[in-house]
Amino acid sequence: MAGRRDNRRVEIIVAPFDKLEPAVAYDLWRLRQDVFVVEQDCPYPDLDGRDLEPTTAHVVLLGPDGDTGRRVLGTARVLDDGELWRIGRVCLDRTARGKRLADDVMRAALAHVDAAGDGRDAVLDAQSPLAGWYATFGFAADGEEFLEDGIPHTPMRLRR
């Protein structure tokens, strides 16, 4: 699935690892490291092997970089966890925040889940201050808040 928002010169691609251009894959992992490890000060191994699974979908928001280049502005990861879909690693570059571009990333992730047509629920572990934002997509709290790397998280589920 690919879409273009010409008015903002952004593009969203959804693809497994082996279909990503090497520079795009590198930039999306760099973005995840910048946001989760550096900005949020959570030193953890982001590369957990799940990115390489053939059923994992990478949602990548690309924006302009100079006259001809593109750069990764946002990303999310959709995992096939058997009985359900798991969405995670949702993040945006600092320069892309506050422009509703994260909505585009989540809509693309959910469109990927919907395209499977299998009726499985989607789950995620929201950083608790963002639980209300995830609720706008139909997610509801599905368990007790917990700490991960010192950050409060709320388990959430989108029932199908």
Q: 116-131: per-residue pLDDT in tens?
A: 989 999 999 999 999 9
Percent over 90 (pLDDT), the chain: 74
- Provide the residue range defining the domain that includes 15: 11-158
Instruction: Tell me, yes or no, whether 6 lies in a domain.
Output: no
From 144, 131, 43, 32, select the one nearest 90 (Cα to Cα).
32
| Helix, strand, coil tally for the chain in percent (to 5) | 30, 35, 30
Residue-wise pLDDT for 43-93, tens only, equals 777 788 889 999 999 999 999 886 667 899 999 999 999 999 999 999 999
For position 37, what pLDDT does the model report? 84
Looking at the structure of the chain, the number of domains it has is 1
Instruction: Tell me, yes or no, whether 29 lies in a domain.
Output: yes
Give the pair of three-digit tokens for residue 146: 């917990």
CATH number of the structural domain spanning residue 69:
3.40.630.30
Instruction: Tell me, yes or no, whether 18 lies in a domain.
Output: yes
Place 40 in a pLDDT band, splitting at 50, 70 and 90. confident
Instruction: Tell me, yes or no, whether 127 lies in a domain.
Output: yes
Instruction: Tell me, yes or no, whether 65 lies in a domain.
Output: yes
